[in-house]
Structure formats: structure tokens, C-alpha cells
Structure 1
Amino acid sequence: MGSKKILMLVGDYVEDYEVMVPFQALLMVGHAVHAVCPGKKAGERVRTAVHDFEGDQTYSEKPGHNFTLNASFDDIKAAEFDALVIPGGRAPEYIRLNPEVLEIVGHFARANKPIAAICHGPQVLAAAGALAGKACTAYPALKPEVENAGGRWVEVEVDQAVVDGNLVTAPAWPAHPEWLAKFLHVLGTKIEP
């Protein structure tokens, strides 16, 4: 189906793998990915955090790589994009407070464009009212937020993903292979062997 123009919404302390892996994988298959952060311009960086599962009651957090933005948030026109990606980490908890972020996410939801969200990314979808009536998953601690936003929680293993129409969600980075494969399917991307 050709190259798609994909918007990726990030912020400081986005989860390292959840921004780096999809950004590079989507570029690799020929899509144009515009990574933006509210209040920042192309060429500026966001800090990332590495979240891991080490046997504690919740994930651990360590410093990750710096991630360089390749587009400016203030220049974004949601109507020009074919799809949206929202990585997890701590960024979603604060970028969802930005009215422009919610407006952008609302555009993708209303237009039924492909949306991929992982881990804490669905916090932004919940805040934008984009989960009502949708089956989805997220990091397990988000179950109450998903349900309170009108979403239908789907319990899956940490390496699995859920598709409901245009929406592709997963609980955490171990799901990257399935989450990205399902997102590429929703995008209509064909990969030749």
C-alpha cells in the first residue's frame, strides 16, 4: 500500500525500547515517522527510561538513551498523518494533560485511522476519550483507567497484542514482535520476503 506518514507522540522519560524499536522498525519498512514532543522542536531530545521486570511488585526504572526528535510539535497537522503511535513509559501521564495532544489523538480516533499504543500509552487514549467501546490492553496497572474510560479490558500475556478495528494495543515491550506485526497489518503494509 506504499509508505504511510506516522505520528509518534513522546515526552521525557518515554520507555526506551517502546520509542526506539517502533521508530526504527517503521522506518525500516519504508514508513515516514514523525516523532514529536509537546514544547520541543526537531533536533531536540527527550530522555528515555528503561523499564524492566526484575521480580519486584512493579517494574524497575533506569536511565535510557536520549532520543532525538525529528519533527516539531507545533508544526503538526493531524489531518496530514495516516496513523498514530503512542509509546509508554512515564511520558503519557503528563503529555495527556496537554489539550493539543488530546485534540490530535481525538482526530485519529474520530477519523478511524490506525492507532498503536503500548504499555502506559493508553493513558493518553483514555484522557482523549478514544477508548469508549474499544477492546484493548495496556500495562496491567492501567486496567481501572481503561475501564473508567469505557474501554473493554482484555487480559493477555506480556508478549501479546490486541486489535479492535483501528486500535492495536499491548501491555509492554516484550510484545513488540506481535504488536508491530499487527499494527503493520492494520496499516496495510506488505513485507516481501
Structure 2
Amino acid sequence: MVKMNKMVRKLELDLKLLKKCKEENLFPKFVKFKLSNPRLGDDVKINDCYLNILNAEIKFKKRQLSRRHRIYNRLRCNFQDYVTVLEYARCIRIMDGIVREEVEKWSKTHSTKLKDLRDAQGIDNTIIRLDPVKNLSSHMLSSVEHEALCNALHHAYPFTNIDQIQLISNMEYFYARLLGVKTSFYHWEENRLMN
């Protein structure tokens, strides 16, 4: 009966951890699978797949918990039929003391896991973060524009190869624009002059 009570309490704590992960959009290690291209880790479809795996695990744990709860309740009823009320109360108190120690240990482990997942995700509720967007214009940014500017680096496609000539040309044009230098032709006319 003690073993079954431990199983029930462990499943309850596991289920609580998984629901908290789902609520905060965190994915435990067992949910993530190895990708051939690590840059796909932030892809929406991959995250949906992770979420489906997490939901399936939550459903599995719920079914397992209800099954174990029924078995545990039957064991308690059967045990209560064979002993006196005083013996039953003492046994339950001893059992609760044994299980309480295990529950405290599991709770610490789960809080550590949750903290590690938050740290890996970059979520920290105790630190006030500075705004990554510095608006140097008089234009007031909408929340959508602000969000787009915050995530701009995450949505850029990586270069497969760098065109050195075009890069130098763009840098020179940018520098000339900063200094206010006017050229005799526009930058889009550059291709016609070269042909």
C-alpha cells in the first residue's frame, strides 16, 4: 500500500510539472528529438510537434494516475476491512510520514528541473530586462512593430555565401549616405552603367 501511495503521489507531481511546462511553453528533454538542422529548433511546426508529444504524455499520465488511484483506493478499503480503526489510523499516519519524505525530495527535483528549463529558455522572472529596441525617431512604435523589432534577428535567414563585391558596395553606399555625399547617379543605376 505504501508503494502504491508513492506511485500515486509521484504521478501527481509529474503531471503537475508537465502542466506547468505546457502553461509556460517549456519543453522537457524527453519531448525534444534530435534535428538534422539545429536552426530548425525554433520552427513553428517543430514546436507544434513538441507540444503534441507533451500533450500525449499528459494524457498518458492522467490515465495512469486514475488507474493507480483506483487500485490504491481498493487497497485501502481492503486493508481497512481487516484491521481495527485505531490500527488503521496508525498505519495511515506512518505511511503518510514515509511518503511525505519522498514527496519533498521529488518536489525539490521538479523545481530544479523547472528552473533549469526556464534558464535554458531564457525566462527569468526575477531580473528586470532592458528594452532591446531603442527608438531614435519621433514615430511611436505599435506593439506589433515593437515585437517585430525585438525578434528581428531570430527571423533572418542565414547567408549561405557572401558576395564580397556587393557587400563592399553596399557599405560604401551606406557610408556615403551617412555623410550626405551625393553621387552623379543613383545606386540602382549602377547596374546599367556597368553593362
How does the TM-score come out when normalised to structure 1? 0.24
Bigger Cα Rg = 2
How does the TM-score come out when normalised to structure 2? 0.24
Bigger relative contact order, structure 1 or 2, given CA contacts below 8 A and separation 6+?
2
